[in-house]
Chain A
């Protein structure tokens, strides 16, 4: 446990000296929390109470009960951007974990580190947690900012309830960490294989594509995030995460990393 803590502290000491990473951790969740708040603020002032007749049928079908047409429109609009919020637990770990192994290799610090009694599992857990914890804190913190902001901006209790719904709370509290674990282990796998830190970041960034697909799918009206989709996603992610952790451990071959990289 002490060794894991040492790795986490070491990773943080290194990574938080990088202003770009700090910027991403602080400003990305703030930006993605502010964006829906701005939409809420703007759409709330349009007097959209009377637009229910003009709403497409698929909107009214998925709209929570008890909302007026304008409130429903507001919830729909903001929900699109809240989905973007789920990119936070994917992007932050990429910044931290992608550099994690390949960075140590390029600075030649991996060999003395691997020469210590630390096990591969301890090292990977340390590196995992060092990337997952900031991502989860940033996700939860950003959502808290959004929830507080929404509580202040939105006049209708119904809209607030629809936005800070159990579905979204579950998504942020459970799916957020699961996405972070997925992103970290994918980045660690990439980082264990490539020889250039920039390549590691670029390749790892493809992890955000599934969220973008869901985002555009929802915008296109193909589906709308609801309880069953969120629960199903959580189960699938749990399964994928287990596979990714296993693969990350398999890919991290001490010997290959030390002898094949130049």
Chain B
């Protein structure tokens, strides 16, 4: 669906995107994360044929950027960082303009469909400028969907939204995912990315890493299992450290935090061993690091 090879963008002396090579599969929600000024918006602008690359190639929906820009624009939807609505025009007319620009077959029908879907139908005649931030974002999202694009680029879709509006937008993105649309999601909200994205790319001028959120966690921090005991001590920790499949054990209060690459396989052995040593196990659970930890770790590493 989206394939880039050494995609590069330079603005005069500033390198915004450096040799980005990436593949986003059909029906995938791909999270594109990175600090401010990392080049995320520039990448989206290149992939939506708004600006051209300095070097490298990219194909979106099978169309080459720089060569088949009109086809790309016709087949992708974009939610820009700012809603960019015509504030003194009605919500309905805002969408009608875009339905006509995309030459949608049944413009009125499509406009009604999305206004109803977003819960904005009753406010259709109101000027977009009178809408709350959440409503504006929903209207902008509707605008991006009017021509039923198979690929959707969302640039910070929940930025500056209150929790309720953000939740609504997130739920809607989840619905779009179920419809099998490919979504390229640019966000600072790491929890959102963790929940919505199949794969994540961490980007800072160049691509640092791409993988599923879970694999990224493992890659950066390894897998840790926490054994809650009634009473844990250094002796038990020492025994576990002797196991060949355990790379590290830490004792925190009455918890043993065990690093192991395959908990599904090794946990039964560890439990048997602990029980054999007379330990009373209360709970066993995986210590799940947040995507934020992973992100900060990776971005920090690039600083060093």
Contact = CB atoms under 8 A, between A and B. Distances in A.
Interface of A: 2-3, 5-6, 9-10, 13-14, 17, 107-119, 254-255, 258-259
A108 B100 contact: no
B245 to A, nearest CB: 52
Given A108-B80, A111-B84, A115-B80, A3 B50 contact: no
Contact of A116 (B83, B93, B98, B140): B98
A6 B51 contact: no
26 contacts: A2-B100, A2-B103, A5-B100, A6-B100, A6-B101, A9-B97, A10-B86, A13-B93, A107-B85, A107-B86, A108-B84, A109-B86, A110-B84, A111-B84, A112-B80, A112-B84, A112-B98, A112-B143, A115-B48, A115-B76, A115-B78, A117-B73, A117-B102, A118-B101, A254-B50, A255-B52
A2 to B, nearest CB: 6
Given A10-B86, A14-B88, A115 B100 contact: no
A111 B70 contact: no
A149 B86 CA distance: 41
Given A6-B100, A14-B86, A112-B144, 8 more contacts: A9-B97, A14-B89, A109-B86, A111-B84, A112-B78, A117-B74, A117-B102, A254-B50
- Tell me what chain A mostly uses at the interface: helix, strand, loop, or mixed: helix
A258 B81 CA distance: 13
B299 to A, nearest CB: 24
A2 B89 CA distance: 20
A112 B80 CA distance: 7
Contacts of B83: 108
Interface residues of B, number: 33
A3 B101 contact: yes
A255 B51 contact: yes
Contacts of A254: 50-51
A116 B76 CA distance: 9
Contacts of A108: 80, 82-84
Nearest to B98: A116
Contacts of B100: 2-3, 5-6
B73 A13 contact: no
A6 B97 contact: yes
A129 to B, nearest CB: 16
Contact of B70 (A13, A14, A119): A119
Nearest to A118: B101
B11 interface: yes
A258 B45 contact: yes
Most buried by A among B82, B97, B103: B97
B51 A17 contact: no
A115 B97 contact: no
B92 to A, nearest CB: 12
B87 interface: yes
